[in-house]
Structures are given as structure tokens and as C-alpha cells.
């Protein structure tokens, strides 16, 4: 939606020029690459992982970040896996990538009460992000994290709509809760906010010498949003909306037994176009978890997913 004295054609031309200048500036300053992939494995057992991150079709830089690694801590092997899906910039997911797992493991009672430690670390990390504002900007991020302890115990937590799905005997089990405005409307309204399905319209930053005010439509009108802006009801950051949002995670755990096939962590760029069971069926057919993650991303693109697509596949057996 554009406003100004210029004609519609001139407005369209100026918008194209504006977007081109923004893209050129991004390339000059650098930033997140359009995508990446990789793999690794446990040093103590058969568990392997692969990940694939692909930039979506939206006209902004890649805003997804991930963690996928094994490390030794106090004589235990921990597998750390996470997807952070940012919005309004990548500063918050980049911060989470660096700090969230470190904050969880800093909790003194992590080894005796992981649930409590994860909860406290999520909340303290969000407070740290808000205290860094405006250094981290006005954006935010979802998060889904998984901690695998000695290949036997799995702890999964999330805020937002990034999701973790476990496969047991080929059956998909969702380990996370999608935090959507419609399902948590009561909490939002109790905090003084509201849920609406209005399109999201944002004014473009001014360009020197131009007297035309330009707007971009950033969201569809058929998606429920907090205060007409954010399509998730829980997130890190988002200082301008924080009084109406929650950042406490839902947490679940599972024992990894002989029947547990694999774990998939992914951003909503995958889940918007694919069911949990479809994702599990695709991943189970491919023994190499890196190839499985790439195939899931490719399939999401083929199904016309517009968002960034980030996927980690953890295979527990060969």
C-alpha cells in the first residue's frame, strides 16, 4: 500500500528502486548467508545428525539460526540442537544461538532438575535480550531446543511455532506446542492485548530527497496476530509487544529407546506445508540425516513454502 502525490506507476517504480537499494546495502554490510548445511555424529553411540537451512522467497535476508553439535560436559555427552526463527531482523536469533544453551547449562540444578533449569534459562535469556534493547533492535525470535543426554534422555522446549517431532516405530509424536494467538487469546487479552486478522502494514524508512511515504504489506489478513502484528503468542524479544506476550517455554521429555527412530526440529517454513507424519515418512526413508534434512527442505519449497526453511534431523539408529 503506497501513499503520496506521485502516480501509481511512479510509486511502483520507486518501491522497486527502494527494495533494490536495500538489497545492495545488505550485500555490502554482509550478514546471514542464504543457506547452509552440515552434519555430525556422537562420539559415544550411533546417533547422527544433519541440518539444512534454506532462505525463503520473502524479500528479506535469512533470519533463521541453528545449533547442532555434541559436546562433553561433566563426564556426559550432550547433543544440543535448536532452531531459532527470527522476525524483524536476525539480531535476536543470533543472540539465542550464542547464549541460550550456555545459559541452560549454567544453571546449577541442570543435572538434577532439567525442567526447572530450562524454564529459568529461557526467562533469564529473554530478560537479557530486552535489557540489550535497542542494541538488538525491536525484533524477536521463536525457539525450539532439544538436549540429548548420553543418547538416552531427551529434553525438548519451545516458544513460538518452531516445532520438534519425534518418530517412534515410524509414528510421529509432536514434542512441542505451537503457540498461536488464537489458542492463547485469553492470556493475550488478560495482558491488555488483542488478537486480530488484519493485514500487517509497515511504513518504509524514508529516503533522503523523496517526499513520498511508502508502505509494505508484510502479512496476510487471514492469519491471527497479536495486536495485528505478530503471528505467535510467545517469543523472545519483541519489546514493543512484550507486555502482551509470554516467553515461558513448554517443556517435554522422552526416553530414547530401541524403537525411537529419529527427531526432526524445524521452523514453520516446513510445518506450514507439511504434516508431522509426512515429515517423518520422508526422513525415515533416507538413512543419511543430512540428505534427509535437505530433502525435507526441498519438498517444502516444492510445496511453495514462502518462509525460511530450517531443518535438523537427528537419527538415533543406523
Residue 31 has pLDDT above 50, yes or no: no
Q: Determine contact, residues 141/235, Cβ cutoff 8 Å.
A: yes
Other beta carbons within 10 Å of 57: 11
Average pLDDT estimate for 22-46? 64
Q: What is the pLDDT of residue 181?
A: 77
pLDDT of residue 204: 59
User: Are 267 and 56 within 8 A, CB to CB?
Assistant: no
Q: What per-residue confidence (pLDDT) applies to 96?
A: 96
In order of their start, the domains of the chain are: 2-27+187-226 (no CATH), 31-179+232-315 (3.60.40.10)
* pLDDT band for position 126 (cuts 50, 70, 90): very high
pLDDT at residue 10 above 90?
no
Q: What is the SS3 assignment for the chain? A: CEECCCCHHHHHHHHHHHHHHHHHHHHHHCCCCCEEEEEEECCCCCCEEEEEEECCCCCCCCCEEEEEEEEEECCEEEEEEEEEEEECCCHHHHHHHHHHHHHHHHCCCCCCCHHHHHHHHHHHHHHHHHHHCCCCCCCEECEEEEEEECCCEEEEEEECCCEEEEEECCEEEECCCCCCCCCCHHHHHHCCCCEECCCEEEECCCCCCCCCEEEEEEECCCCCEECCCECCCECEECHHHHHHCECCCEEEEEECCCCEEEEEEECHHHHCCCCHHHHHHHHHCCCCHHHHHHHHHHHHHHCCCCCCEEEEEEECCC
Predicted TM-score of the model (pTM): 0.81
Per-residue pLDDT band at 58 (split at 50, 70, 90) = confident
- Please tell me the distance from the alpha carbon of residue 188 to that of residue 192, in angstroms, as a whole number: 7
Portion of the chain with pLDDT greater than 90, in percent: 57
Residue 24: band (very low, low, confident or very high) from pLDDT cuts 50, 70, 90? very low
What is the predicted pLDDT for the residue at 128?
93
| Cell numbers that stand for 65 in this block | 539460526
Amino acid at each position: 500500500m503506497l501513499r503520496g502525490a506521485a502516480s501509481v506507476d511512479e510509486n511502483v517504480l520507486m518501491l522497486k528502486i527502494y527494495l533494490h537499494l536495500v538489497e545492495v546495502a545488505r550485500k555490502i554490510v554482509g550478514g546471514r548467508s542464504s543457506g547452509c548445511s552440515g552434519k555430525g555424529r556422537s562420539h559415544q553411540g550411533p546417533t547422527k545428525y544433519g541440518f539444512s537451512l534454506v532462505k525463503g522467497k520473502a524479500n528479506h535476508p535469512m533470519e533463521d539460526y541453528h545449533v547442532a553439535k555434541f559436546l562433553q560436559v561433566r563426564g556426559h555427552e550432550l547433543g544440543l540442537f535448536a532452531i531459532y526463527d527470527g522476525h524483524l531482523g536476525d539480531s535476536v536469533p543470533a543472540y539465542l544461538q550464542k547464549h541460550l544453551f550456555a545459559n541452560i547449562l549454567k544453571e546449577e540444578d541442570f543435572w538434577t532438575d532439567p525442567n526447572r533449569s530450562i524454564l529459568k534459562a529461557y526467562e533469564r535469556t529473554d530478560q537479557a535480550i530486552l535489557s540489550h534493547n535497542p542494541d538488538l533492535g525491536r525484533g524477536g525470535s521463536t525457539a525450539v531446543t532439544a538436549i540429548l543426554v548420553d543418547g538416552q534422555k531427551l529434553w525438548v522446549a519451545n516458544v513460538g511455532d518452531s516445532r520438534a517431532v519425534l518418530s517412534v516405530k515410524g509414528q510421529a509424536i509432536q514434542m512441542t506446542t505451537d503457540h498461536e494467538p488464537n489458542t492463547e487469546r485469553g492470556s493475550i487479552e488478560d495482558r491488555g492485548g488483542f488478537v486480530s486478522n488484519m493485514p500487517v502494514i509497515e511504513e518504509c524508512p524514508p529516503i533522503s530527497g523523496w517526499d513520498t511515504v511508502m508502505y509494505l504489506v508484510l502479512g496476510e489478513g487471514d492469519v491471527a496476530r497479536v495486536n495485528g502484528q505478530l503471528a505467535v503468542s510467545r517469543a523472545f524479544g519483541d519489546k514493543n509487544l512484550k507486555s502482551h506476550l509470554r516467553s515461558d517455554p513448554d517443556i517435554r521429555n522422552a526416553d530414547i529407546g530401541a524403537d525411537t527412530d529419529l527427531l526432526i526440529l524445524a521452523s514453520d517454513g516446513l510445518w506450514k506445508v507439511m504434516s508431522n507424519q509426512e515429515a517423518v515418512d520422508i526422513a525415515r526413508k533416507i538413512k543419511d540425516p543430512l540428505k534427509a534434512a535437505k530433502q525435507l527442505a526441498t519438498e517444502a519449497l516444492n510445496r511453495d513454502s514462502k518462509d525460511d526453511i530450517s531443518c535438523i534431523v537427528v537419527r538415533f539408529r543406523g
